[in-house]
Each structure stands twice: as C-alpha cells, then as structure tokens.
C-alpha cells in the first residue's frame, strides 16, 4: 500500500512536468512532410482546405497554387498565407491553421519491431519503445539517440524524453 501511494505521488509530481514539456515543444513545432493541416480563411469557404504536406514540403492552395510549408511554425504559416492572400486577392484575410494529423515518428535499431508509428501526443521514449515491441536482448539501456527537426539535430535521450512528430529514434547495441 505504501509503495502504491509513493508511485501515485511520483506520478502526480512528474506527469504535469512531462505534459508541460510536451506543450512547450509543440508550440515551436515546425511543419514537415506528412503533416496534414486544415486551413480556414474567414468568410471565404472556397479558400479553405485540408491538405497533406508533400515530400517536397508544399501544399496546394486555391488561388495561390503550391505554397511551401516545411520548416514553418503554425504562426509563421498563418502570416505567410495572409500575406500571399493580401497580395492581390483579399483586402484583410484572416487565416487559421490547425494540425489535422501529425507525421509519424520512426524507431530502429535494437527493437523488436522497427518502423514508423503514428504520433500520439505526450508519448515518451519508453512508451515508443513499448509500441515497437520492446528492446531486444542486446539493446543498450542508455545509448538511445533521437534525430529531430528540419535541421536533424541529434541528441542522447532518456526514457522520459517526449517524442515529437517526425522524430527518428535509434536504439544502439550494448557492448556488455
């Protein structure tokens, strides 16, 4: 009973911290290939679309044609579309953008089922490993690397690291 209470206390303390970390990470989230976004233009239903960002980083918009979205945050994409629509189409466009579905994350190396998995908000590295069937016998318990973002920054991760859409997770072999 005491162990259960201690476990619940730990969960109550660390869970909000992990959720806050995930929310902060997604605030600066940059769109990438595979994300599906919903774009609405206020009082212009013909200009509203739901589109998946292509492998080249573009979506097709009515009037505007192909517009590059890769590497833009939600706010940057909104401002870009409003500027493009203001340039000869609308007097004062108001655009809203929501993410309909995020691109998957990938896991490979010493896991039982490497591959791509649908992104789930607030998923930790430990949960991602569990989704992939768990670690193989020779897997390292500490050499876990994540490649993240448009610039493909790589860092060493721990079991409670929050996974973001498009992350590439590598689980190395253990030498001992």
CA–CA distance, 126 with 116 (Å, rounded to integer): 16
pLDDT in tens, 30-77: 999 999 999 999 999 999 999 999 999 999 999 999 999 999 999 999
CB atoms within 10 A of CB 20: 11
CA–CA distance, 56 with 7 (Å, rounded to integer): 46
Superfamily name and number for 36-101: wza like domain (3.30.1950.10)
Q: What pLDDT score does 13 carry?
A: 43
Q: What pLDDT score does 6 carry?
A: 39
Are the beta carbons of 119 and 107 closer than 8 angstroms?
Answer: no
Q: How confident is the model at residue 12 (pLDDT cuts 50, 70, 90)?
A: very low
Name the phi and psi angles at 52, rounded to 5.
Answer: -95, 135
| The domain defined by 105-173 carries CATH number 3.10.20.30 | no
- Given a cut of 60, whether residue 14 has pLDDT beyond it is no
152: alpha, beta or left, given left = phi > 0 and alpha = psi -120 to 50?
A: left
pLDDT in tens, 161-173: 999 999 999 999 9
Range(s) for CATH 3.10.560.10 in the chain?
Answer: 105-173
Range(s) for CATH 3.30.1950.10 in the chain?
Answer: 36-101
- Given a cut of 80, whether residue 116 has pLDDT beyond it is yes
pTM above 0.85, yes or no: no
């Amino acid at each position: 009973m005491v162990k259960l209470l201690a476990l619940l206390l730990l969960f109550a303390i660390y869970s909000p911290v992990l959720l806050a970390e995930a929310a902060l990470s997604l605030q600066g989230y940059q769109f990438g290939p595979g994300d599906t976004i919903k774009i609405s233009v206020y009082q212009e239903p013909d200009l509203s679309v739901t589109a998946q960002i292509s492998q080249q980083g573009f979506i097709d918009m009515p009037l505007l044609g192909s517009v590059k979205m890769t590497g833009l945050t939600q706010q940057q994409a909104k401002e870009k579309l409003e500027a493009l629509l203001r340039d000869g189409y609308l007097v004062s466009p108001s655009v809203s953008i929501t993410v309909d579905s995020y691109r998957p994350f990938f896991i490979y190396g010493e896991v039982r089922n490497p591959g791509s998995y649908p992104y789930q908000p607030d998923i930790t590295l430990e949960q991602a490993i569990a989704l992939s069937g768990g670690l193989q016998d020779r897997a390292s318990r500490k050499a876990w690397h994540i490649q993240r973002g448009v610039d493909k920054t790589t860092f060493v991760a721990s079991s409670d690291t929050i996974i973001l859409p498009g992350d590439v997770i590598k689980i190395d072999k253990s030498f001992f």
